[in-house]
Structure 1
């Protein structure tokens, strides 16, 4: 599976977790991987459940990185999104930002420019029309040491 698809699955897990209490994190992650592949009415694959063990490990480790650092990441988002409370930012955009900031600040294997570009692409795919520009604007302000 490509890094882009792995990142997309990680985003989907983070999005789903936003609807559940913290104590259900592991259960919901396991449920995600047990869900079968799913196609829409036009036979377009919307959930590909063909994971290798390596894919699952990568997705879980990236999701757990975000979860473990969520309070730090959410503070960064809150500080940078002037005039927007974290709760007002859509779940799609909030979780794309969480994933990208985790990659930018805590994953030295991912170049900052790649994290930003991938976040913008996720926002174009899953967000509203203006989501990608909002995501790009926030991420361009993130300071990386």
Structure 2
């Protein structure tokens, strides 16, 4: 799988957190890979699962960072797709040194275009820009 395809799979799994307890995620991950459209080889499955688990470990910190940056919003009011895209991107920006910040933002905008509403990509881009502006 390409990096973009891997990221999309991680997004789909991370989206399930909104509808399941975090304790159920190992089982949800197993169900996910049993679906024909989500089947992946051993290396890709390991990469996806590992990154998902690292994001879940940092979820409280990620949500706190989002709530701090987004004026007039909080993670409880955001659309589920937008929130999931932002969680993935914020993880990559703050904690994943392998992913350049520009790539994390561009990929998040693409995920928002593909899975979100018409305004999702602009919202995601605006929120993530706040993370970059403060780093300068």
Counterpart-to-counterpart distance in 2, 1:81 and 1:14: 21
Higher helix share: 2
Structure 1 residues without counterparts, runs of 5 or longer: 38-48
Structure 2 residues without counterparts, runs of 5 or longer: none
Residues 77-96 of structure 1: pairs in structure 2 closer than 5 A: 77-96=66-85
Matched with 2:16 is 16
Could you say what secondary structure the match of 2:76 adopts? helix
Counterpart-to-counterpart distance in 2, 1:105 and 1:5: 21
Determine if the alignment matches structure 1 residue 65 to structure 2 residue 65. Answer: no
User: Structure 1 segments of 4 or more deviating over 6 A?
Assistant: none
Counterpart-to-counterpart distance in 2, 1:22 and 1:129: 29
Determine if the alignment matches structure 1 residue 76 to structure 2 residue 65. Answer: yes
Determine if the alignment matches structure 1 residue 7 to structure 2 residue 7. Answer: yes
Which of 98, 106, 130 in structure 1 is aligned with 2:87?
98
Give the number of aligned pairs: 134
Matched with 2:26 is 26
TM-score normalised by length of structure 1: 0.88
Counterpart-to-counterpart distance in 1, 2:135 and 2:9: 25
Counterpart-to-counterpart distance in 2, 1:53 and 1:98: 25
